[in-house]
């Protein structure tokens, strides 16, 4: 098999697998009625993912020592957390976070 064919098959296969993994849950859940408790539980998933990403980038690990705080991310987190408290909208939080990190990196 030539390199071009291998790369083409890999790209097409990856696209099909990605498409199936993103479409199949919607297709399956369209036919199933979820209980209100499950829907309420799933509503917390975006918040948990955003929090995990935030904590991961807020601290730097040093083996044998306590983690240190990344000051750029900490300074950008202040307006982001305030916007989260005020708006309670994930979209607003992401936009304010990106803009505030850009401003902090431009200044520092």
The per-residue pLDDT string of the chain (108 residues; one tens digit each, 9 = 90 and over) reads 688 899 999 999 999 999 888 888 888 888 888 888 988 888 888 888 888 888 888 998 889 999 999 999 999 999 999 999 999 888 998 899 999 999 999 998
pTM value is 0.60
Cα distances from 43 to residues 20, 80, 92, 108, in angstroms, run: 23, 20, 17, 36
CA gap 85, 107 in Å, rounded: 25
Q: Within a 13 Å sphere around the CA of 72, how many CA atoms are in the beta-carbon half?
A: 12
What residues does each domain of the chain span? 1-32, 36-107
Predicted local confidence at residue 2, as pLDDT? 82
């Amino acid at each position: 098999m030539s390199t071009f064919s291998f790369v083409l098959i890999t790209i097409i296969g990856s696209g099909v697998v990605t498409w199936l993994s993103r479409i199949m849950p919607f297709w399956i859940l369209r036919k199933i009625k979820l209980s209100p408790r499950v829907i309420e539980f799933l509503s917390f998933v975006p918040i948990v993912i955003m929090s995990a990403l935030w904590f991961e980038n807020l601290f730097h690990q040093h083996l044998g020592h306590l983690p240190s705080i990344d000051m750029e991310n900490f300074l950008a987190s202040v307006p982001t957390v305030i916007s989260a408290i005020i708006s309670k909208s994930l979209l607003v939080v992401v936009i304010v976070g990106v803009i505030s990190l850009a401003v902090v990196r431009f200044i520092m």
